[in-house]
Amino acid sequence: MAGDQELKLLGLWGSPFVMRARIALNLKGVGYEFLEEVLGTKSELLLKSNPVYKKIPVLIHNGKPICESMIIVQYIDEVWATAGPSILPSDPYDRAIARFWAVYIDDKLFPSLRKIVLANADDEETAEAADQVIAGLQLLEEAFEKFSKGKDFFGGESVGCIDIALGCYVGWIKAAEKMAGVKLLDKEKLPLLMGWAERFCSADAVKELMPEVDKLVELGKVLRARLNAAATK
């Protein structure tokens, strides 16, 4: 079926969005060619495959590009439906809830997390951004209790949609903590999420993809410097 087909993933080391696609492909046991972009430049292939946003990840399946990380994850889930566990739940209501949280994570959690990573040491907005991340994680702690039903993941027995949507940020959350000296994943306040994060990071489909936090901190500093340089131009 989907066996001998050409599958490429355009990405960047360190991108949480690229990680989502890679986790999904791992869950389905699908082989692919990973084409690493160079930070600061965009390849011809990227510009051709994603002319609207010019961003990674882009999955190219038999020459046809699919863009936007959660759209890629759903695509992988649908094309390789019989390989490996379902990433999205089968019940329409559960699917709607999974999609809701994926959108929430990207719309609310990510911008605040990004602010913390890119903020300069004296930035006043960091504390507010940290509060927003913690508030978001608190909501997810409650959601985890509801959805996991005592099992290991948001998706139940196996890594699912919300696990992938949130889990890709775990490395960056830890990096942000180091960079800004704030506590975001507090064991006291978020005991369930802490346990979940450990299990997620050691899951088969994830462990080889989890970046080292110190390397992310270095990357964060590079990104911050580039942003500052651009701002002063």
Partner 1 sequence: MATAEKGVVLLDAWVSPFGQRCRIALAEKAVEYEYSEQNLADKSPLLLKVNPIHKKIPVLIHDGKPVCESLIIVQYIDEVWTKNPLLPSDPYERAKARFWADFVDKKVYECGTKLWKLKGEAQQEAKKEMIEILKLLEGELGDKKYFGGEIFGFVDVALVPFTAWFYAYETCANFSVEAECPKLVAWSKGCMERESVAKSLHDPHKVYEFVCFLKKKFGME
- Rounded distance between C-alpha atoms, residue 114 and residue 105, angstroms: 12
Pairing of strands 33-36, 58-61: unpaired
Question: From the list 55, 99, 199, 224, which residue makes contact with partner 1 (rule: CB under 8 A)?
Answer: 99
Give the helix, strand, coil percentages of the chain, each rounded to 5: 55, 10, 35
99 to each of 158, 161, 232, how far by Cα in Å?
A: 17, 8, 39
Instruction: Please tell me the count of residues contacting partner 1 according to CB under 8 A.
Output: 22
Cβ 76 to partner 1, closest distance in Å?
A: 9
Query: Among candidates 21, 24, 18, which has minimal Cα distance to 155?
Result: 24
Residue ranges in 104-143 that form contacts with partner 1 under rule CB under 8 A: 104, 139
Nearest CB to partner 1, comparing residues 37 and 68: 68
| Angle in degrees, CA 120, 125, 131, rounded to 5 | 120
Q: Which of 26, 49, 74, 126 binds partner 1 (CB under 8 A)?
A: 74
Tokens encoding 91: 């019940």
Q: Are 22 and 159 in contact (CB under 8 A)?
A: no
Pick between residue 27 and residue 206 the one whose CB is nearest to partner 1.
27
Alpha carbon of residue 191 to chain centroid: 21
CA-CA distance, 24 to 45, in Å (whole number)? 22
Candidates 15-23, 30-38, 64-72, 181-189: pick the segment binding partner 1 (CB under 8 A).
64-72
Judged by CB, which is closer to partner 1: 33, or 107? 107
Q: Is 95 in the site for partner 1 (CB under 8 A)?
A: yes
Nearer to partner 1, 77 or 177 (CB): 77
Selected binder of partner 1 within 47, 103, 222, 225 (CB under 8 A) = 103
Strand duo 33-36 + 64-67: pairing: unpaired
203 binds partner 1 (CB under 8 A): no
Closer Cβ to partner 1, 126 or 132, answer by number: 132
Where does this chain bind partner 1 (CB under 8 A)?
Answer: 52, 61, 64, 66-68, 71-72, 74-75, 78-79, 92-93, 95-97, 99-100, 103-104, 139
